[in-house]
Amino acid sequence: MRIIKYNLLTVEEKREYHRLKHKEYRDRNRERYRQLVRKSQIKYYLKKGIDLKKERAKRILNNNIMYKKITRKNCIFCENENAEGHHKNYNEPLNVIWMCKHCHEKFHQITK
């Protein structure tokens, strides 16, 4: 990397400089960076009172949908195409019941 006079850079050049420095740091310390990000995510979930198993199950399901390993199905009650997955058991993240938002809300009201 060439030596630059930081004070002579424009705002856009400074932004680009810091973006590249940050990318270099992430590339050099990839595993450490992943641990820091994961630790901050866990801290955020605990602070917000979010269940870690539930978040993990949602993330695994969404990744499988995104990478086309699983396809969304229609709602089992009304055949609506905009279905979301309902987990019976968060330890089985790919075992879901497909329901639209409306039916999903009704389902939770009935099962409470």
Burial letters for 96-108: b for 16+ Cβ neighbours within 10 Å, e otherwise? bbbbbeebbeeee
Whether residue 57 contacts residue 87, with contact meaning beta carbons closer than 8 Å, is answered with: yes
Cα separation, 94 vs 97, whole angstroms: 10
* pLDDT value of position 2: 59
Q: Give the pLDDT confidence score for residue 79 in this predicted structure.
A: 93
Q: What is the mean pLDDT of each run of 10 residues along the chain (112 residues)?
A: 73 91 91 90 87 92 94 94 93 95 93 80
Element (H, E) at 4: none
Predicted confidence at residue 3, as pLDDT, reads: 64
